Amino acid sequence: MLIYFIRHGETDFNKKRIIQGSGVDSSLNATGRAQARAFYEKYKDVPFDKVITSDLKRTSETVKPFTDAGLEQEKDADINEMNWGVHEGQPGSEAMKVLYQNMIAAWGADDFDHRLEAGESARELADRIQRFLDSLKSRTENTLLVCSHGRAMRCIVALMKEQHLREMENVSHANTGLYLAELNNGKFTVIKENDTEHLQSLTSNI
């Protein structure tokens, strides 16, 4: 099975550096819609059997060109963005940055239960992402398109590579950046990482 994992297109919250998480159900902005269209134009001839998105609007809107063309969509809350608790919907601040850095340091020291106030822990995120990845192993499709979120993508890639969760910090995730993976005999192999070649057409038109 080939699986095309992409992050959703840009939202105004991304642009303004406001924390979204799973509790902010924002829509794509004009740039995000252009990114989604650019991805579609490059990959519309791939014989996808189905597209799987999170429950949040920004992923469904990113794959809308595919679903408008008839591709069947399935939603799975297991690939929703991480819940950032009381920080969701808030602009970044120095105090919040310190709390975030402390959390990342705790995860690096194997404290995967550390979380922001009222938020989700790395262990909880990894448990649901692993559940999603395990579910892929029993599917019968040949080619899937999966649209998720930044932190969720970091976790997806680290788990596919069977890495320590601290390695999430080394995973890049541009808006509509593509991670292409092959699933063979229950093992994932990552073939492409954060590929944004489809966005070159947008840059050339500026």
Whether residue 171 contacts residue 122, with contact meaning beta carbons closer than 8 Å, is answered with: no
pLDDT at 92: 81
Q: What is the mean pLDDT of the chain?
A: 95
Give the predicted TM-score (pTM) of the model.
0.95
Whether residue 69 contacts residue 48, with contact meaning beta carbons closer than 8 Å, is answered with: no
Q: What is the CATH number of domain 2-204?
A: 3.40.50.1240
Q: What are phi and psi of 48, to 5 degrees?
A: -65, 135
Whether residue 104 contacts residue 96, with contact meaning beta carbons closer than 8 Å, is answered with: no
pLDDT at 60: 98
Going from the C-alpha of 122 to that of each of 104, 143, 151, 170, the distances in angstroms are: 9, 29, 10, 15
pLDDT at 201: 81
**22-52 as b/e, with b when 16 or more CB fall inside 10 Å?**
bbbebebbebbbbbbbbbbebbeeeebeebb
pLDDT tens sequence across 149-175: 999 999 999 999 999 999 999 999 999
pLDDT at 202: 85
pLDDT at 206: 41
- Tens digit of pLDDT at every position of the chain (206 positions): 999 999 999 999 999 989 999 999 999 999 999 999 999 999 999 999 999 999 999 999 999 999 999 999 999 999 999 999 999 999 888 999 999 999 999 999 999 999 999 999 999 999 999 999 999 999 999 999 999 999 999 999 999 999 999 999 999 999 999 999 999 999 999 999 999 999 998 865 44
Retrieve residue 59's tokens: 């992923």
Q: How far is CA 78 from the centre of its chain?
A: 11
pLDDT at 204: 53
Whether residue 196 contacts residue 6, with contact meaning beta carbons closer than 8 Å, is answered with: no
